[in-house]
Chains A and B, each alone.
Chain A
Amino acid sequence: AQKITQTQPGMFVQEKEAVTLDCTYDTSDQSYGLFWYKQPSSGEMIFLIYQGSYDEQNATEGRYSLNFQKARKSANLVISASQLGDSAMYFCAMRPLKGNQFYFGTGTSLTVIP
């Protein structure tokens, strides 16, 4: 069974500071993809970043980076230089390479304080 855990229901960060959103996962699969999505208050789901389980380097996309620790089964999202527009819900997801489904965590609500 696959399980994604996001233990931080809500987070606050000062504008221009960095913030880390935690994500751990449980899977017996050896090959999988890890994804982060952003959901602003308007409701749409926006893809942010992807990490393959076989990638040796952490993924980066602009101000987003994924701190991937395979042995610990963690895939934390780091947002650098937070902006007010970063205030949103953030979801971690996993997709086994052989599988078809995406498994999502319960999300973390991030609020950026001016």
Chain B
Amino acid sequence: DAGITQSPRHKVTETGTPVTLRCHQTENHRYMYWYRQDPGHGLRLIHYSYGVKDTDKGEVSDGYSVSRSKTEDFLLTLESATSSQTSVYFCAISEIQGIYGAEAFFGQGTRLTVV
């Protein structure tokens, strides 16, 4: 199994508070991603990183920020949590896609509830 660890695995927080989710990899993969999963929406990309300090927005980036100061760590921050950010968050990693493809490997997920 790919070495990806998400922390925490579960979190309940109050509206308006900041929250940081951590993704740690031991695979030295270049790309790291944060997705959220909601019923009926599948997985939607929040932000991704293609190297240390290199990040870009996904389709649902509003209200989220990320940082990657080391190859192995990718942090997702909700600056001021809202109930609409209640979701399951997945971190994923991948290598550069070549002719043989490069699948994404996923962490176990973080279930975040904003009350």
> Is A35 a contact partner of B104 (Cβ separation < 8 A)?
yes
Q: Does A64 contact B (CB under 8 A)?
A: no
* B108 CB contact (under 8 Å) in A44, A54, A104: A44
The interface residues of chain B, by DSSP majority, are classed as strand
Q: Which residue of A lies closest to B58 (CB)?
A: A101
The number of residues on chain A lying at the interface, defined by a beta carbon within 8 Å of a beta carbon of chain B, is 25
* B42 CB contact (under 8 Å) in A33, A91, A95: A91
> Is A43 a contact partner of B43 (Cβ separation < 8 A)?
no
> Is A106 a contact partner of B31 (Cβ separation < 8 A)?
no
In the complex where A91-B43, A100-B31 touch, is A33 in contact with B101 (Cβ < 8 A)?
A: yes
In the complex where A33-B97, A44-B109 touch, is A106 in contact with B90 (Cβ < 8 A)?
A: no
Q: Does B78 contact A (CB under 8 A)?
A: no
A10 to B47, CA, bound (A): 29
* B105 CB contact (under 8 Å) in A6, A47, A105: A47
Interface centre among B40, B90, B100, B104 (most CB of A within 10 A): B104
The number of residues on chain B lying at the interface, defined by a beta carbon within 8 Å of a beta carbon of chain A, is 28
Q: Which residue of A lies closest to B33 (CB)?
A: A102
> Is A95 a contact partner of B97 (Cβ separation < 8 A)?
yes
Q: B77-115, CB under 8 A of A: which get 1 and which 0?
A: 000000000001010101001011111111011000000
In the A-B complex, list the 6 residue pairs whose CB atoms are closest, starting with the nearest. Answer: A45-B106, A106-B42, A104-B43, A50-B101, A33-B101, A47-B103
Q: List 30 A-B residue pairs with CB atoms under 8 Å apart, sorted by A's residue number.
A: A33-B102, A35-B101, A37-B106, A43-B88, A44-B106, A47-B103, A47-B105, A50-B101, A50-B103, A51-B101, A52-B101, A54-B99, A91-B42, A93-B43, A95-B104, A100-B56, A101-B33, A101-B45, A101-B48, A101-B58, A102-B33, A102-B104, A103-B45, A104-B35, A104-B42, A104-B43, A104-B44, A106-B41, A106-B42, A107-B42
